[in-house]
Structure 1
Amino acid sequence: MEAENKTTLPDVQSSEDERNIAINRVGVRGIRLPVIVAGREAPQHTVADITMTVSLPADKKGTHMSRFIALMEELSEPLDADLMRRLFAEMLERLHAEDGTIEIRFPFFVRKIAPVSKLESIMNYQCALIASSVKGEVTVRQEALAPVTSLCPCSKEISRYGAHNQRSHLTSSLILSAPMSFEEQVAIAENSASCQLWSRLKRSDEKYVTEYAYDHPKFVEDLVRDMAKALNADDRVVAYRVEAENFESIHNHSAYAWIERDKRL
């Protein structure tokens, strides 16, 4: 009797809805799971915050939320843009959906060597892989946020000594035709800054960082233009959006700029 009841339980989510209102996106948010991410030299284990949604037709009452979780828990391969496409297609098939979104955000770690002392330390970067579709057109974006140093050219020019600088966040969101590692993506941002950052520095390194930034002053406009220039020259990059936010040290607000380009247009 108990077994019979289990097999005859109603599937409420699959029932019809009489209000006839389609839902753009419905799913799960705030999933936190261990994942493996592809790296330049070796895969990296990290922890991801995940959002998964699908479109829901007007005549359907609900979607099957547990299928999102099951899909992610079955994942065993290192995440990259190609795997995101396969994962996305599988999600749409399991949920019987036409469109949707998978957003996987995670810290990515890079071992770095200080410029003078050669002291090794680990830097963390906020990265993401995002797959989405609208009317059947699938897009996969690879994102990376790199913290850097920027030094103000105007402050340097008008001051008898010194110049104000600040920590900045440089974000790139890329559509790629061929693989680019997160290490490469982060390096593009760091090479566009007044100076990159390290987790551990000796005094000799601090001297180097301070003087290097002073010799490479950049406005927020310079930061996004230099990132855009590097991405324009990279044939793997189909489209991009780059952002720079300077957390100003002499103002109670940030300076901000962004550039967006689709090379296919």
Structure 2
Amino acid sequence: MFIAAGVAGQIFWNTFSFIEGPDGIPRGIIIAFFSVLFDGDPNTNLGDIVIRQQLPSLLGIVTTVVILVVVVWFESTRVEIPLTYRGYRGYKGKYPMKLLYVSNIPVILVNALYANVLFFGQLVAGPDSAMRASNGGLIPDFWINILGEFDTQSAGTGMGGQLIPKRGLIWLITPPLGIDQLVADPFRAVFYLIIFIWLCIMLGRVWVEVSGLAPRDIAGQIIDSQMQVPGFRSSERIIERILKRYIPTLIIINGILIAVLSFFADSLGALTSGTGLLISIGII
């Protein structure tokens, strides 16, 4: 709930903040909308807030609402396996499996991995790194720059004082923040999305194995509950085989959908980060 409260606070701030942004328009997109609409300034119009660089925009608020609706719909979509109770004839039930089988867990794990890689990259490849030959270190700058280069001029500008990758491997796994970055370098965006999807699928599979959501674990739970699939023998192995028709596919679909939604939330300027938005929806 603390995470959801933090995300809700960020959305509220980006929606209703009166503080003036670098473009001379209030930061909050709703306040900016009415300010542009009624202030009578001939130098500003609604087109100025449709897309705003590193600031809340009309596109961002539409993206937030659309992703909210889409995720809620995905969360309510289920695959149901019919079950019968062995002890009482005629008693039937269903075992539901959500379309988002592991929910937003893969995105959380991937972003935790990315955060550690970024932190390591800033230590090793930052402009003040002691490893750089230019700073008296032993490793030539050329090799360190392959890992990453950081824009010191952008530090603290809309990024809370953090260094922003501008080249190198670290830069390739950094999501484009805003449609301007998406359009400026589509190759990087596509590369990032492919890696992001692959990691979400792989870590989703790992999570299923360690969290008791694998087919063999679910089959054991069904047998222990004295349930069985109609038309099949009451065997854990048979139920596991049936579950394997669905669960691996659901993991892949889950990874793709959640990665794409998070990517577009970041790229189209949603009112909070894609990961934060998905986590909050899952909590609520």
Q: TM (normalized to structure 2)?
A: 0.21
User: Hey, which of these two has a bigger chunk of strand by percent?
Assistant: 1
**Whose helix proportion is higher, 1 or 2?**
2
TM-score, normalised by the number of residues in structure 1: 0.22
